[in-house]
């Protein structure tokens, strides 16, 4: 996360925060508004809001959060699929909540639904505590975390592909069996139609040629008469054009002895003589080759009638009959035959066996990893004020299996030695849930997908040595992720790489909450306040400096 901007939200008028890597502690007096930051982030990530979140007297509240996506290729792919791309390697979520309760969301400046904002948020952020945005409570996230911890992501993806291939074959085979009678009737009709069109042996090019031939043959007598008339008037008649033109040309040629100005006229006349003579030759040649065979005309008429009848029958234009034949053949390929049904059943059985083999192999690897992860998290719980508690990754067999395997993955926990394991979703205490989530995240931090983690109430009901251990775990987690923790414990805050202080004040009659980054000396004062309560002494400040690793 790069920045967070908050405007007129609850008791915040204006707040601009730049986030850094590592572990950041958020501290302050009780009631100062530390939860407001988490509420604002939750709203930016698609959680539902209400008009009561708008600061009193204001028209709207606005929250904007910016994230670096350079190391999040899956988010970049998702943004492209949703047509919500923004600046390179950046994603900005913006939420506006009006005083009348109307809400609007934007991703990279483009309007987005709350569902889209929640989906984007799942790539970016996890909030652990008494808040709804907790991916570890989702069964699919628990399964993905287990597979990621074991390095089984590729095997899980391959299994999903095998399952889809099996199910595709299963549906095709079942459909063929269910509709066997209908399919047989359709196949019989299609085979008849294919034979009929193949017997017609028609091509689109033939149709244009056939039309031209028929037009010529059906008008052969008229065309012969036209050609004969042309030859007669140009050449054979007593007053033929060529004879008249030849006489005129001879006289003009004779006149040139007396006036050379007639040369241009003679040239045009001679050209006309040549053109007309060529026309006579062409007409005589046309007469010789023109076919006036009435038998051939009848054949053409019958061929055209057969083509037109077929086109009418298949409800297409004559030139589209070859395409109709291709569609019939394609449908026949889809339907197959009785032999195809047997082959399909064999293919389905083979695909199922292939899926089961891969699923059993994945299940065995999951079982081995589940035992290891359960031990690690159970051990971590003992150091987090849950002595005697236990954690288990339960693998429940599925009767038929699904695209994720032959077992359902569920995280289960017992917070006390005398209580049975139950689903993580049913853990009531927000503090316990946060600490268990912390233990899980530390154990699996090398495979956690989201870059930013926020922990709320991890210090609930603990102190002393356990609080120091919580701080150490958060610091270790901060080496791999951007971590923020809302805390009341100085032991936790002292372990942070950076510390923010939330404070509340009254300005112009309005109660406002602010957040500021503490410098080194200010951190000593804040840790001392957290240690000493109302009165801060020199001894308290010395102790605070020691906790921060500073010279006293």
Q: Mind listing the pLDDT tens digit for each residue in 132-146? A: 346 677 888 889 889
Q: Quote the pLDDT of residue 148.
A: 84
d(CA 475, CA 483): 8
Whole-angstrom Cα distance, residue 233 to residue 252?
Answer: 23
Residue 461: pLDDT band (50, 70, 90) is: low
Among 503, 441, 438, smallest CA distance to 471 is for: 438
* Confidence grade of residue 219 (pLDDT, cut at 50, 70, 90): low
Residues 38 and 106 in one domain: yes
Q: By mean pLDDT, which of 71-85, 204-218, 252-266 is the weakest?
A: 204-218
Handedness of CA 170, 172, 174, 177 (dihedral sign): negative
Q: Residue 10 has which token pair?
A: 């609850």
Task: Name the band, by pLDDT with cuts 50, 70 and 90, for residue 350.
Answer: very high
Q: Same domain, yes or no, for 502 and 361?
A: yes
Residue 254 has pLDDT above 50, yes or no: yes
Q: Total structural domains in the chain?
A: 3
Tokens, residue 94: 């913006």
149 falls within a domain: yes
Euclidean distance between CA atoms 214 and 307, whole angstroms? 13
On whether both 395 and 502 belong to a single domain, the answer is yes
- Flag whether pLDDT at 246 surpasses 60: yes
Q: Are residues 380 and 313 in the same domain?
A: no
- pLDDT class for 290, splitting at 50, 70, 90? low
- The pTM for the full model equals 0.59
Task: pLDDT band for 109, please (50, 70, 90 cuts).
Answer: very high
Same domain, yes or no, for 297 and 385? Answer: no
Among the residue ranges 46-60, 195-209, 292-306, 392-406, the one predicted with the least confidence is 292-306
Whether residue 151 is found in the same domain as residue 57: yes
Residues 279 and 211 in one domain: yes
Domain of residue 244 covers 202-335
The pLDDT value recorded for residue 132 is 39
On whether both 484 and 495 belong to a single domain, the answer is yes
Q: How many CB atoms lie within 10 A of CB 93?
A: 26
Contact 461, 402 (CB under 8 A): no
- Tell me what the mean pLDDT of segment 317-339 comes to: 80
Residue 188 maps to a domain: no
pLDDT tops 60 at residue 275: yes
Q: Are residues 389 and 498 in the same domain?
A: yes
Pull the structure tokens for residue 516. Answer: 């500021």
Could you give the 3-state DSSP secondary structure of residue 85?
coil
Q: For residues 39 and 12, is the Cβ–Cβ distance under 8 A? A: no
State yes or no: pLDDT of 536 exceeds 70: yes
Q: What confidence tens digit (pLDDT) does each residue in 411-450 have?
A: 999 988 888 999 988 875 666 776 787 778 777 665 667 8
The predicted structure's pLDDT at residue 296: 64
Do 123 and 149 fall within a single domain? yes
């Amino acid at each position: 996360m790069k920045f967070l901007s908050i405007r007129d939200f609850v008791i915040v008028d204006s707040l601009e925060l730049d986030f850094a890597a590592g572990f950041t502690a958020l501290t302050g007096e009780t009631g100062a508004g530390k939860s407001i930051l988490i509420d604002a982030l939750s709203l930016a990530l698609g959680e539902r809001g209400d008009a009561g979140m708008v600061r009193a007297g204001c028209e709207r509240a606005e929250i904007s959060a910016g994230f670096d996506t350079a190391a999040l290729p899956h988010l970049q792919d998702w943004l492209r699929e949703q047509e919500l791309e923004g600046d390179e390697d950046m994603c900005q979520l913006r939420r506006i909540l009006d005083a009348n309760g109307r809400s609007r969301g934007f991703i990279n400046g483009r309007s987005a639904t709350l569902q889209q904002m929640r989906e984007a948020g799942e790539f970016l952020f996890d909030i652990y505590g008494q808040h709804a945005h907790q991916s570890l409570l989702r069964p699919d996230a628990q399964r993905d975390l287990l597979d990621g911890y074991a390095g089984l992501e590729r095997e899980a993806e391959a299994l999903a592909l095998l399952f889809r291939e099996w199910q595709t074959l299963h549906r095709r085979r079942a459909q063929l069996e269910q509709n066997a009678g209908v399919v047989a009737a359709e196949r019989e009709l299609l085979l008849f139609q294919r034979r009929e069109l193949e017997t017609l042996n028609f091509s689109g090019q033939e149709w244009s040629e056939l039309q031209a031939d028929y037009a010529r043959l059906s008008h052969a007598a008229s065309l012969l008469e036209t050609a004969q008339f042309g030859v007669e008037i140009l050449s054979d008649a007593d007053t033929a054009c060529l004879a008249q033109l030849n006489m005129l040309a001879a006289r003009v040629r004779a006149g040139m002895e007396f006036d050379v100005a007639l040369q241009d006229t003679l040239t045009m006349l001679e050209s006309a003589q040549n053109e007309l003579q060529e026309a006579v030759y062409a007409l005589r040649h046309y007469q010789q080759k023109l076919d006036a065979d009435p038998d051939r005309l009848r054949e053409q008429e019958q061929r055209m009638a057969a083509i037109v009848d077929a086109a009418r029958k298949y409800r297409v234009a004559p030139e589209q009959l070859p395409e109709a034949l291709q569609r019939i053949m394609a449908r026949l390929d889809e339907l197959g035959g009785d032999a195809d049904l047997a082959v399909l059943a064999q293919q389905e059985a083979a695909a199922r066996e292939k899926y089961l083999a891969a699923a059993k192999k994945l299940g065995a690897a999951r079982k081995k990893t589940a035992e290891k992860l359960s031990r690690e998290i159970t051990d971590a719980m003992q150091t987090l004020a849950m002595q005697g508690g236990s954690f288990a990754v339960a693998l429940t067999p599925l009767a038929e299996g699904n695209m994720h395997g032959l077992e359902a993955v569920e995280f289960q926990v017992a917070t006390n030695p005398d209580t049975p394991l139950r689903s993580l979703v049913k853990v009531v205490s927000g503090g316990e849930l946060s600490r268990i989530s912390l233990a899980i995240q530390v154990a699996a931090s090398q495979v956690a997908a989201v870059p930013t983690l926020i922990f709320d109430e991890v210090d609930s009901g603990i102190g002393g040595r356990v609080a120091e251990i919580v701080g150490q775990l958060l610091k270790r987690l901060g080496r791999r992720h951007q971590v923020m923790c809302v805390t009341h414990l100085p032991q936790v805050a002292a372990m942070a790489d950076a510390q923010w202080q939330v404070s509340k004040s009254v300005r112009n009659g309005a109660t406002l909450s602010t957040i500021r980054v503490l410098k080194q000396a200010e951190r000593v004062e804040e840790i001392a306040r957290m240690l000493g309560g109302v009165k801060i002494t020199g001894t308290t400040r010395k102790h605070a400096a020691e906790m921060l690793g500073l010279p006293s």
